[in-house]
């Protein structure tokens, strides 16, 4: 049993590095994902993830680092999202939807100029967690520290934004500035994570663990810690599953994260149903108390 659970990691250096990358991505996504879930930015996060595709494709074509291309792509997408969010003639989800489909199409077209089209686009969309280098790990560690610092410094305006934009503004914090800071934090998370789980699947790591934390926790710090735990378990289980069943590693990690959420959601629903039934039963047994409360 020990060999089954630990053997793959103790025997393979590349798998240990992959696990380390998964843990780092889980922690980065836990921090940024918590605010994505609280503020309801899942669609914007998805758009940012797709927005990096043309950047990475261009970088691949030019032979420069994909991270630089992803950062440029995320910057362009952030600017685009910021611009369409301020327009009132069309709902922002329509504008952002068009923007991200356009960026994805542009990325595929740029990538089609590459000699190994299908290989490159698969790597961009679904990641290459088994090919993570030591340099990638250092870059992800730096990104984790930066995302953590942004979240800590901006925790008050980020919390206020989660409740109400008007409340944020009247508390002395600029809605536009801190909304952009939050988008920047999400963009940095996408750039740091796409090599591990891919641009298509990174949104799963952003949302599923944080949404799981939000099911149980009633404090932001607890949501983040739970999200990090779920992300780490998903990374480990996904890699193990991938190794033993010969499945795609990035997709396995994200699938496990989504399954954990689904399982927890069912548990919470059953708990609520049982608690509701208990209340009804209690009311039937003690109708006089019920009547007194409403007098």
Binding site for another protein (CB under 8 A): 37-38, 40, 153-154, 156-157, 159-160, 162-164, 166-167, 169-173, 213-214, 217-220, 222-223
CB of 205 to another protein, least distance (A): 18
CB of 258 to another protein, least distance (A): 17
CB of 54 to another protein, least distance (A): 33
132 phi-psi bin (left φ>0, alpha ψ -120 to 50, beta other): beta
Helix-helix angle 220-245:2-11, to 10 degrees: 90
Identity of the residue, 112 or 221, whose beta carbon is nearer to another protein in the bound complex? 221
Using CB atoms within 10 Å of the CB of residue 98, give its burial: 0 to 12 exposed, 13 to 18 middle, 19+ buried.
middle
CB of 206 to another protein, least distance (A): 15
Identity of the residue, 160 or 201, whose beta carbon is nearer to another protein in the bound complex? 160
Identity of the residue, 171 or 286, whose beta carbon is nearer to another protein in the bound complex? 171
Distances (CA, A) of 37 to 135, 139, 166, 256: 30, 25, 19, 19
Q: How far does the chain reach from its first CA to its final CA, in angstroms?
A: 63
Identity of the residue, 60 or 168, whose beta carbon is nearer to another protein in the bound complex? 168
How far apart (Å, rounded) are the C-alpha atoms in residues 253 and 129?
Answer: 10
Identity of the residue, 88 or 287, whose beta carbon is nearer to another protein in the bound complex? 88
Identity of the residue, 11 or 164, whose beta carbon is nearer to another protein in the bound complex? 164
- Collect all residues with Cβ–Cβ distance below 8 Å to 99 and sequence separation of at least 6: 47, 51, 77, 80, 81, 84
CB of 197 to another protein, least distance (A): 24
CB of 176 to another protein, least distance (A): 13
CB of 173 to another protein, least distance (A): 8
Place of tokens 């795609």: 248
Distances (CA, A) of 230 to 39, 238, 259, 270: 20, 12, 11, 20
Tokens coding 65: 């680092």
Place of tokens 């396995």: 252
CB of 262 to another protein, least distance (A): 16
Query: Cα torsion at 42, 122, 228, 38 (round to 10°)?
Result: 0
Identity of the residue, 177 or 244, whose beta carbon is nearer to another protein in the bound complex? 177
Identity of the residue, 5 or 163, whose beta carbon is nearer to another protein in the bound complex? 163
How far apart (Å, rounded) are the C-alpha atoms in residues 235 and 22?
Answer: 5
How far apart (Å, rounded) are the C-alpha atoms in residues 28 and 251?
Answer: 18
């Amino acid at each position: 049993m020990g060999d089954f659970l630990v053997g793959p990691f103790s025997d393979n250096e590349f798998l240990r590095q992959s696990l380390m990358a998964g843990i780092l991505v889980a922690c980065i996504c836990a921090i940024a994902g918590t605010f994505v879930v609280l503020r309801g930015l899942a669609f914007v996060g998805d758009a940012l993830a797709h927005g990096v595709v043309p950047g990475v494709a261009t970088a691949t074509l030019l032979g420069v680092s994909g991270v630089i291309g992803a950062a440029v792509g995320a910057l362009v997408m952030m600017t685009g999202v910021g611009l369409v969010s301020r327009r009132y003639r069309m709902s922002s989800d329509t504008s952002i939807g068009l923007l991200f489909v356009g960026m994805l199409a542009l990325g595929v077209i740029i990538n089609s100029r590459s000699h190994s089209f299908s290989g490159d686009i698969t790597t961009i969309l679904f990641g290459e967690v088994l090919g993570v280098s030591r340099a990638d790990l250092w870059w992800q560690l730096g990104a984790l520290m930066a995302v953590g610092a942004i979240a800590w410094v901006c925790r008050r305006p980020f919390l206020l934004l989660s409740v109400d934009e008007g409340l944020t503004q009247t508390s002395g914090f600029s809605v536009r500035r801190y909304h952009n800071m939050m988008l920047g934090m999400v963009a940095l998370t996408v750039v740091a994570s796409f090599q591990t789980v891919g641009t298509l699947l990174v949104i799963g790591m952003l949302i599923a663990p944080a949404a799981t934390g939000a099911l149980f926790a009633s404090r932001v710090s607890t949501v983040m810690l739970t999200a990090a735990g779920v992300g780490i378990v998903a990374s480990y289980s996904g890699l193990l599953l991938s190794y033993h069943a010969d499945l795609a590693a990035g997709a396995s990690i994200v699938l496990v994260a989504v399954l954990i959420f689904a399982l927890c959601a069912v548990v919470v629903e059953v708990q609520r149903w049982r608690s509701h039934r208990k209340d009804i039963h209690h009311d039937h047994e003690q109708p006089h108390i019920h009547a007194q409360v409403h007098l």
